[in-house]
Amino acid sequence: MEELIYQVDLLSAMNRKLSRDEKMLRLICETSNNGILYYNYEEDRVQTIANWSYFFPFTITDLKDLTKLYECVEDKDIIPLQKVLFIEEQGLKSRSIEVKLKDKRICIEVEVNIVYDSMHHPTDKIIRFKDVTKFNSQNDELTYMAYYDLLTGLYNRNYFVRLLGEFVRRAQDENETVAVMFIDLDDFRRINDGMGIIVGDELVQVVGQFLLELMNDNIIVSHFNSDIYCIGIYCPCGARSVETIYRIIRERFKKPFLLTGGQEIYITASVGVAEYPEAATTTLELINCAEIVMFKAKSLGKDKIQYFDGAILDDFLNNVSIENKLKDAVFEQNFTMNFQPQFRTSDRALRGVEALIRWKDDNGKMISPAVFIPIAEKNGAIIPIGTWVIEESLKAYAEWKRKYNYSMIMSLNISAIQYKQADFIDNVLSLLKKYDISPNEIELEITESILIDDFQEITEKLVKLRDIGMKISLDDFGTGYSSLSYLKGLPIDTLKIDKSFIDTVISDENTQIITESIIYMVKKLGFETIAEGVETEEQFRYLNEIDCDNIQGFYLGKPMPSKEIENLLANMTA
């Protein structure tokens, strides 16, 4: 009897466990997002469970009914699906595939698993259907982000480099060429700063949409960053030649780009071109060469195309070398000062000197200020260099004044970047006070080019400096951006006539007319005149005859170190 009770209790416990397991499995099936089909080979029994109705509007009671699934999927998926549903015919244990349902327009993963007995006969089949539409959508989005620029829809930089690499490898095999066009929008910063980054971004976007139209199997277009685009061309010839594509770009850029805010923006672009294998044999080198010559196009006045040339690369590498050396020179203050005398034409008396920085690198090679000053302005080194020049010049001037008590003018060249510094005026006044120098003994030289971007701001500072008592000199007049409007609007005291006029003033009648007109005009305006680059007695006599106030040049005085200026002062005060 006790044994019977024990057996009953055991069966009850087993039934309770089975009930719990059944409940658990039922809940799993009911809450599953998958649709499942189970088939038992021995009993020839088919059962659909879980979320089957989400996927299909019918049930399957016989294995032959699996053919109904073929009607639900896109035509291209029918044969691959058939092979997966009956993998037991190939002796496989599991296999999966993704297909699209026509009516629901969703993508589903079909996974088939077969259970075999010891004789490798199939005993059970489980087919699972899973909606992977959202997952694929997220995956597609990640893929898009990996390959495309979100702002323009063009290839991003990384994917462009990869595709360009394929172009280069293909060109190696087929003995072809690959061209890269590096495109930079001119003066884009002005648009960004003046109209806002939203407008700037939209402009980048619409330009990108235009460039997207150029894409085909042999032309790839990328948005690198900000306002820079890059085009790769396989076998650039005919309709896809660099010249043709550049002409298309130029024609489009002649018309304004219309933005959603109603703005019509005209813009130009500077383009650098490099070709494989002439310019470089690797992808990154090819892009770098195109970028380098693009900067050359900008330096030539923008809105231009520049093709790769070995001399341009050499010049760029030389500038990079100078820039690296310049960093050390700034840190060590490894510069010297020369001073070029300025003389009155009436009596050849010393009017003053112009301070000129000199730099000899570690190899003993003199590097022209015309070379390293633009580099210093570009990388910001001009600030410490300019401060050093001002202090060294004032220090030397204070020493001359103490020794010789000779009244003259110290002329200092000031970069536009220095003028833009908020504390520029305070720093100059502090140094004048430090070396006990009166502001009216200092003349600050500016060139018209520094007024192009910030005329109002710089002019306001010049007015303050002039009110303090300093003189303002307009350098290199007659070249570059010369405009008579500057003479009316600028607070200047002195105008320096550029050397290019003086070189031909004796031999060329037109130059004489222009030079005489300038001198007559500025004297009427009350300015003092200085002629630069005077190298002969004949030039000196002519300038004296037409009432040019002062001369500067090799004829009466080359740039010289402080000690030689002292000798000059000693002779003049003897």
Q: Give the pLDDT confidence of 172-218 residue by residue, as tens digits.
A: 999 999 999 999 999 998 888 888 889 999 999 999 999 999 999 99
- Return the closest-CA partner of residue 309 out of 339, 350, 278, 348: 278
The two structure tokens encoding residue 429: 């006044």
pLDDT (tens digit per residue) in 14-34: 666 555 655 555 555 555 678
Q: What is the mean pLDDT of residues 112-134?
A: 91
480, pLDDT greater than 90: no
Provide the 8-state DSSP code for 217: T
Question: What pLDDT is attached to residue 529?
Answer: 95
The two structure tokens encoding residue 313: 């690369």
The two structure tokens encoding residue 532: 């630069």
Q: What pairing do the DSSP bridges indicate for beta strands 305-307 and 94-101?
A: unpaired
SS3 335: coil
Question: What pLDDT is attached to residue 105?
Answer: 77
pLDDT (tens digit per residue) in 38-78: 999 989 999 888 888 888 888 888 888 888 899 898 888 89
406, pLDDT greater than 80: yes
Residue 12: pLDDT band (50, 70, 90) is low
Q: Nearest 5°: phi and psi at 117?
A: -90, -175
Strand positions, DSSP E, 305-439: 305-307, 336-344, 350-360, 366-367, 409-413
436, pLDDT greater than 90: yes
SS3 288: helix
Which is more confident, 223 or 31? 223
Which is more confident, 469 or 61? 469
Q: Which amino acid is at 87?
A: I
Provide the 8-state DSSP code for 531: E
Question: What pLDDT is attached to residue 452?
Answer: 61
The two structure tokens encoding residue 255: 């018309």
Full strand arrangement of the beta sheet holding 219-225: 219-225, 228-234, 178-185, 269-276, 305-307
The two structure tokens encoding residue 331: 């840190």
148, pLDDT greater than 80: yes
Provide the 8-state DSSP code for 493: S
In 51-85, which positions are buried (b, 16+ CB within 10 angstroms) versus exposed (e)? bbebbbeeebeebeebeebeebbeeebeeebeebb
Strand positions, DSSP E, 59-169: 94-101, 106-116, 122-131
- 559 phi-psi bin (left φ>0, alpha ψ -120 to 50, beta other): beta
Provide the 8-state DSSP code for 498: P
Question: What pLDDT is attached to residue 7?
Answer: 61
Q: What is the mean pLDDT of residues 435-461?
A: 83
Which is more confident, 529 or 481? 529
Q: Which amino acid is at 52?
A: W
**Residue pair 354/444 in contact by the 8 Å Cβ criterion:** no
Task: For residues 72 and 271, give the distance between their C-alpha atoms in angstroms, rounded to a whole number.
Answer: 54
358, pLDDT greater than 60: yes
The whole model's pTM is what?
0.61
416, pLDDT greater than 80: yes
Average pLDDT, the chain: 87
